[in-house]
Structure formats: C-alpha cells, structure tokens
Amino acid sequence: MRWLMWGLPAFVFLIGFFHRAAPGVIARDLMQTFAVTGTTVGLVAAAYFYSYAGLMLPAGLLVDAYGVRRVMAIGGVVMGAGAVLMGAATSVPMLYAGRLLVGAGAAPTFVGTLKIAAAWFPPERFGFLAALTATVGVLGALVSTLPLAALVTLVGWRGAFWGVGLVTVAGAALCALGVRDRPPGAPAAARRDTLRDVLAGAARVLRNPHTWPPFLAFFCFYSVAGNQMLWMVPFLRDVYGLPLGAAASYATATSVALLIAAPCIGFASDRLLGRRKAPLLAFAVAQAALWGVFLATLGALPLPAFYALLFAMGLAGAAFVLVWPIGREVNPPHLDGVAVAVVNLGGFLGAALTQGPIGAVLDARWTGALAEGARRYPVEAYRDAFTICAVLAVAAACLTLPMRETRGRNIYRELYPLRDTA
C-alpha cells in the first residue's frame, strides 16, 4: 500500500522531470518553427524553472498545509494544460506561457512525493526514498531523450506535447482518486496551519544558516545538469553530425548512469555508511574532475569513448541526491516539506538563471552556419558554454565543505539546543 501511495505522485513527478529535459530534443525544431536563436531556446527552456523556482517554496507550504493529494492533483492538471498549450503554440509568447504553466504545475511534484515518503515510510528510509524519487525523475529525463525523439519523428513535436499533456492530466486524476496523505490510524495534525503559520515556518527555515550550503550546492549541481540536458543533443548533432535519434541515444548515457547511481548512493548513505557529507564530497570532486576531462577532449573523442565519459559523469553527478536529506535533517522535523522545498529551490534558480545566458554564449560564437534553417554552432562555441558548467561543478564541490554531517538523522536540536523544535 505504501509503495502505491508513493508511486502515484512519483509518476506525476516523472512527467514533470520529463519536461525539464525535453527542450534539448526539440531545440532544432523550435529554431526551425519559430526562426529563433539559441538564446531564445535557452530562455524558453528556462521559463519552466522561472515558475518552478518562484512557486517551489509556496508549493512546499501548500503541501504541508493542505496535503499532497489535493495539491498534486491540481498541479498535474496545470502541467498538462501547459504541455497542450506548448503543442498548440503559434508564437514564441505562447511557448513561454505554456512552459510557465508546465513549471508551475510541476512545482509541488517533488516535495509532494517526498512528503508521502516521509509519512508512509520509517524515518531511516528517507535518504533512500529521496534518492529513489530522484531516480524516478532521472527516468523522466531518460524518456525525454530517445523515446521523445522517436515520438517526435513519428507525430512531430506538437503531437508529442499534446500526448504528454493528456497523460499528465490522467496522472493528476490518479493522484486525486488514489493518494492518501497519511497511513490509516496515523494521527492527524491537531489543527490546520494558517497561511501565517506556514510563512513563519518558511522564514524559520530561511533564517537557519545550515540551510544555505545545501541550497547553494544544489544551485550549482542543477545548473550543470540542466544545461547538460538542454545542450547535449544539439552538441552531438552540430559537432558529431548525428541525426536526432542517434544524438538522443548517446545523450542517454548520463541519465542511465544517474538511474543506476542515485538509489545506490542513497542506500549506501542510509544503510552502509551512515553518512551524508562524506559521500557527497567524494562524488562532487569526481564530477568536477570529469568535467575537466570533458572540456579537454571536447569534440575529439570517438563516440564510444564519449558515451563512456558521459556515463562516468552521470555516475559522479548523482551526488546531488544527498543535498535534500541534509537540508531536511538540519531543520525542525515538522518543517520537512518546507526545508526540502527551500533546498530544491536552489537548483531551479540555478537552471533558471543560467540556461538563457549559456544560450547567449553559443550565439556569440556562432559563425553563421545553418542546418535545415536552425543555427549550427561550432565546437568552440560549445567549449565556451560548457566551461561555465565546469566552473559550476567545481563550485558545487567547494560548497559541500561547510555542510554539517547529519549521519542520517535530524540534528536540529543538537545545532540549536535552546530552541523549541515545535
């Protein structure tokens, strides 16, 4: 029963994650259809993160105050409507509007899924469930590569988005009908928090200085991941000359690695090591080093070796799944939804603030080449763009150093013994 309760919101989260990476596959289609540049594609992709980041904290508050079932169902409908609007777009402003709706609807999906995990599973399983939830998201990113490319080839990018929109609404209906916010017999809250209560809780999380290292680290981690998802397929098409299906196939390497590594890291952190910070630091340093190798060999590796490098980068990049448990475990237990939302906010601010500028970097190095009406960027342009990702990977590793080691348990009372945790 508890796995079903977790699985329904996790499915809607998978669709939300699908949308984060989808613009990378249709980037050239958007350039051709709307005669736009890489900067515009980056800004359209980032529009998801503008609304997601803006509503991430309110979504956590709403989940804490009104329950996962209601908030996830409404969010799924909004997300589905945004996908349909994108598929029907006849102008760039309509694309922006649809993308903003998709991000708004997706905002409660991750926090809601983790809230169900916290309610239905023992506390010592939370790290594993956080990693498993992240893995489901990565599966969504995987679906947005080769499967989406095949669907786009079959029905066009517009038809693909209409179909995804309908599936999203169906997922929202399943949440409304099937999800229960807590197990039978579990005590209900003594009273429903008012808006003032939940805003005060958010302020309490934001005032906690131990919230900010995982917040800023995730800003960097997800800036790297978001831009890699957006620009890897265009890179493979422009530099290696691959068709859409082959480029999407090679781009799956990172997602496949994350799919394997994320739950393993969560399990090892919970059950084998009993630590959060140490494995996070080790994998973050490895990721930064691999980005150095990536830049040094950009465009020169044979495709099998390039796939192996992307796979290794995905394994190391899975470290980010530990920032959520750390953020949760340094804050008051009853504010777990808000704490996870605040940390998650950092990642989406990172993607929102970097995707457009990185697209502008590509445009600045464009030499005038076109492929079927879309801009084709040289390897030098991608080197400049991906250098920004490498710098952010180094920053993420550095930001793990000031984090507190929680050892998989809430340490708020140890950090602040004189404060009330209620």
- pLDDT for position 191: 54
- pLDDT for position 291: 97
- pLDDT for position 222: 93
Tell me the HSE value of 318 on the side-chain side, using a 13 A CA sphere: 35
**Residue at 56: amino acid letter:** M
Task: Report the distance separating Cα 163 and Cα 170, nearest Å.
Answer: 11
Using the predicted structure, report yes or no on whether residue 190 has a pLDDT greater than 70. Answer: no
Confidence of residue 188 (pLDDT cuts 50, 70, 90): low
Confidence of residue 418 (pLDDT cuts 50, 70, 90): low
How does pLDDT run across 358-388, given as a tens digit for each residue?
A: 999 999 999 999 888 889 999 999 999 999 9
How does pLDDT run across 113-150, given as a tens digit for each residue?
A: 988 988 888 877 877 787 788 788 888 988 988 899 99
Confidence of residue 340 (pLDDT cuts 50, 70, 90): confident
Using the predicted structure, report yes or no on whether residue 404 has a pLDDT greater than 80. Answer: yes
- pLDDT for position 195: 61
The helix or strand, by DSSP H or E, that contains position 370, with its residue range, turns out to be strand 370-371
Using the predicted structure, report yes or no on whether residue 71 has a pLDDT greater than 70. Answer: yes
Q: Give the CA-trace dihedral at 171, 142, 347, 305, to 10 degrees.
A: 180
- pLDDT for position 200: 79
How does pLDDT run across 275-293, given as a tens digit for each residue?
A: 889 999 999 999 999 999 9
Please give the domain boundaries of the chain with CATH numbers for all domains: 2-415 (1.20.1250.20)
Tell me how far CA of residue 114 lies from CA of 53, 72, 87, 162, 400, in angstroms.
17, 12, 30, 28, 22
Q: Tokens at residue 239, please?
A: 């530099």
Task: Report the distance separating Cα 105 and Cα 305, nearest Å.
Answer: 38
For the chain, what is the mean pLDDT?
89
The helix or strand, by DSSP H or E, that contains position 385, with its residue range, turns out to be helix 379-399
**Residue at 64: amino acid letter:** D
- pLDDT for position 372: 82
Percentage of the chain beyond pLDDT 70 is: 95
pTM of the model: 0.86
Output helix, strand, coil percentages for the chain, rounded to the nearest 5.
80, 0, 20
Q: Which residue has the higher pLDDT, 417 or 29?
A: 29
Confidence of residue 181 (pLDDT cuts 50, 70, 90): confident
How does pLDDT run across 24-58, given as a tens digit for each residue?
A: 999 999 999 999 999 999 999 999 999 988 887 78
Confidence of residue 262 (pLDDT cuts 50, 70, 90): confident
Phi-psi region of 142 (alpha: psi -120 to 50; beta: other; left: phi over 0): alpha
- pLDDT for position 55: 86
